[in-house]
Amino acid sequence: MSARRSFDPMRLGIYLLLILFAMLFLVPVYVMLVSSFKPFAEVQDLSRMWLPPKAPTLESFQAAWFGVPEKGLRGLSLNIFNSLKLTIPATIISSLLGSMNGYILSKWKFRGADLIFALMLFGMFIPYQSILIPLTRVIATIGLGGTIWGLILVHVVYGIPITTLIFRNYYAEVPTEMIEAARIDGAGIFKVYWKVLFPLSMPGFVVVIIWQFTSIWNEFLFAVTILQRPELQPITVALRNLAGSQIKEWNLVMAGTLIAAMPTLIIYIILGRYFIRGLLAGSVKG
């Protein structure tokens, strides 16, 4: 296609369609913003639901973050910190495991390695309901029931398939000659990893860390079954409780959703390129 500068109704239509879809995709963001910046009195006026706040206020954010003790409302700040305490260790451990596994499964294939890999991958597709009953039992038996460490263990284990998959595909691109060369110099299995693969791994780690951070931060089913105590719950469970409570202050709830969404949203906006790579890697072949 050469540069056709003249007016083209077809292209105008394309742009209009793209803009229309963009506006539709942003409707929930609009609703979150206009509701959360209103005081309770205004959000109750349903005829104004779609209108911007008369006088924007941060009081909903303040109440959602710090809580309102006289109404028995716990602040979400606590849950944000719980989510961080859970997500950061689980992300780091599962990424390191995935890196080692991916290294072995791409560069040190032994007989049956592909079968083992396929069996590992199946673990990321199963509905977790089908392992939840034994899981809660075992976590309780080994003394981790109702603790953040129990949930970390769960996320590490069920994170292995996807982290292994992404690293395996990533390391497959590293030329085997580089590894042969290091081996001729007498490097063993660990030294090859440490001297050759690991220094090349940064983009791979960025993709995997973003992926794991986002999925663990956003996860709900494991968190709600394993962590019953409100003061330990991560943000997703707390948000659902806030939205499910009897007296629904929608300004507060919407401020809560923005708070819960902020960390992964910021990562996505800054590092979107890597986020998409993780996304595409999820479809097995990458």
Least separation in angstroms between CB 101 and another protein = 5
Question: Which DSSP helix (H) or strand (E) runs through 73?
Answer: strand 73-74
Least separation in angstroms between CB 103 and another protein = 8
In this structure, what token pair is assigned to residue 44? 């109750």
Residue closer to another protein, measured from CB, 69 or 247: 247
Cα 264 from Cα 236, distance rounded (Å): 12
Residue closer to another protein, measured from CB, 49 or 73: 49
Residue with tokens 């009897």: 246
Residue closer to another protein, measured from CB, 205 or 250: 250
DSSP-derived secondary structure for 163-221: HHHHHHHHHHTS-HHHHHHHHHTT--HHHHIIIIIHHH-HHHHHHHHHHHHHHHHH--H
Least separation in angstroms between CB 150 and another protein = 13
Residue closer to another protein, measured from CB, 66 or 268: 268
Least separation in angstroms between CB 176 and another protein = 15
Q: Can you name the residues that pair with 67 across neighbouring β-strands?
A: 74
Residue closer to another protein, measured from CB, 148 or 277: 277
Contact partners, residue 234, CB within 8 Å, separation at least 6: 79, 82, 83, 86, 87, 151, 217, 219, 223, 227
Least separation in angstroms between CB 275 and another protein = 7
